[in-house]
Amino acid sequence: MNIDSIKNYPAGTLAKQRHKGMLEYRQKSAGLCESKSVKKNNNYNGSFTGLNVAAVAGSINTEKSATMLDKILTLCDKHTVIAQNLVALFLAAGLRPLAIMSLPGQKKDKDDKIYASGHSIASGLIGFAFSSIVMYPLGRAVEKTKGAVKDANAAIELMKDSSKLTKEQMEAIDSLKKKYKLNNILDIENVKIFKKLKETYNVKTLGDLEHSKAFKNVTKILDMAPDVFIFGVLKAMLTVALIPPILKYVFGIEKKKAPQTPKPEVSSNNTTTPPPAIPKPEIEKFAGGLK
């Protein structure tokens, strides 16, 4: 190392140069910020809002899907038979015709495919209409009974601590009083229909009735069993009877009859004609013996 190359600077010279350079850098930076060439945007916002908009849109779509799912689950819980027939209608009137029409085949099979697709759609519509018309009132009656028991039990539970009742709860209790013509809501246990239900299921209170497994099973059976065991045969007979007119007058489809082959004619007389005689050999021409 060449020691002579090291210059002997006076003390404090390096520090002064360092402070002077930093000061010049700050002044240049300040001048750059104050330069007219840099345009300021007063509407600029430091936060990036694109992600927030996407998050809000996602939350709205999530809420819509959750609401739709809640409606579907409510339908499946309260009207199980109608929900089942909706699924059957979707399969019979949607997926099955698509599957039939997408089958490979010749052009002459197109009419058969159209007829089979129309048959499937008609059967789905008839089954859904019959079940909705017949089973919807039964489902409503079962749901009404379950709802009445639930509301009555909820009113009794609320009256145990009447000091914390809200205005909406008081209005609900008053409506129950008017409905069952009661002066005290606690007397709802002695209403005729609730008394009969408690005797039927061998329970003491409406709370026990609401949580009774037997009561839940019976209401579920009443909601589903008639469609299968009672009205199932009638629905099948009605479907078979109504499919041809629906196909003909609604969809304009009519199954073509196959051409009939001519049958052999049968004589009206039962007597059979004798078979033709077989010609005998001319034995007479044969001459034998002594002449």
Per-residue model confidence as pLDDT tens digits over 88-146: 899 999 999 999 998 887 777 888 888 899 999 999 999 888 888 888 888 888 888 98
DSSP state of 214: H
For position 28, what pLDDT does the model report? 47
The mean pLDDT value for 15-35 works out to 46
Instruction: Say if residue 17's pLDDT is above 70.
Output: no
pLDDT over 70 for what percent of the chain?
65
For position 77, what pLDDT does the model report? 75
For 252, left (φ over 0), alpha (ψ -120 to 50), or beta?
Answer: left
For position 271, what pLDDT does the model report? 57
Contact between 173 and 155 under an 8 Å Cβ cutoff? The reply is yes
How far is the C-alpha of 267 from the C-alpha of 15, rounded, in Å? 139
Q: 279 burial class (0-12, 13-18, 19+ CB within 10 angstroms)?
A: exposed
For position 96, what pLDDT does the model report? 92
Instruction: Say if residue 197's pLDDT is above 70.
Output: yes
**242 Cβ neighbours under 8 A, 6+ residues apart:** 122, 126
Contact between 82 and 135 under an 8 Å Cβ cutoff? The reply is yes
For position 57, what pLDDT does the model report? 43
For position 65, what pLDDT does the model report? 67
The mean pLDDT value for 233-243 works out to 88
Question: Measured between alpha carbons, how far is residue 33 from residues 21, 27, 28, 38, 39 in Å?
Answer: 19, 10, 9, 7, 10
For position 111, what pLDDT does the model report? 84
For 280, left (φ over 0), alpha (ψ -120 to 50), or beta?
Answer: beta
The least confident of 29-43, 108-122, 170-184 is 29-43
**Angle CA(238)–CA(239)–CA(243) in degrees, nearest 5?**
120
Query: What is the model's pTM?
Result: 0.54
The least confident of 38-42, 97-101, 281-285 is 38-42
Higher-confidence position of 282 and 230? 230
For position 109, what pLDDT does the model report? 80
From the DSSP assignment, how many helices (H) and strands (E) are in the chain? 10, 0
End-to-end CA distance of the chain: 170
Q: What's the mean pLDDT when you consider all of the chain?
A: 74
For position 14, what pLDDT does the model report? 45
Return the axis-axis angle of helices 213-225 and 110-159, rounded to nearest 10°: 150
Model pLDDT for residues 245-264, shown as the tens digit of each residue: 888 888 888 776 666 666 65
Contact between 149 and 206 under an 8 Å Cβ cutoff? The reply is yes
How far is the C-alpha of 82 from the C-alpha of 97, rounded, in Å? 22
Instruction: Say if residue 15's pLDDT is above 60.
Output: no
- How many other C-beta atoms can be found within 10 angstroms of the C-beta atom of residue 260? 6
For position 138, what pLDDT does the model report? 84
For position 284, what pLDDT does the model report? 56
pLDDT over 90 for what percent of the chain?
14
DSSP state of 40: P
For position 120, what pLDDT does the model report? 92
